[in-house]
Amino acid sequence: MKTVTEIEDMIRAKADEDEAFRGRLLGNPREAIKEASGLTVPEGF
């Protein structure tokens, strides 16, 4: 299992490389994080 830091780094790298993903991350972060990592982010997190 990846650490929180590893997941954050992976998401940052994807956002840096993929402008469309960056837009999704800003518009709907929970779904974008799920897309990138496969993890479900709880409501209110």
C-beta of residue 36 within 8 angstroms of C-beta of residue 12: no
In a domain, 18, yes or no: yes
Q: What is the pLDDT of residue 2?
A: 86
In a domain, 43, yes or no: no
| Residue type, position 34, single letter | K
C-beta of residue 26 within 8 angstroms of C-beta of residue 15: no
In a domain, 16, yes or no: yes
What span, in angstroms and rounded, lies between the C-alpha atoms of 41 and 8?
13
Domain count, the chain: 1
Q: Supply the range of the domain harboring residue 14.
A: 4-37
What are the CB-based long-range contacts (under 8 Å, 24+) for 8-12?
Answer: 10/36, 10/37, 11/36, 11/37
In a domain, 15, yes or no: yes
- Give the pLDDT of the chain (45 residues) as one tens digit per residue: 889 999 999 999 999 999 999 999 999 999 999 999 999 999 888
Instruction: Report pTM.
Output: 0.81
Q: What is the pLDDT of residue 5?
A: 95
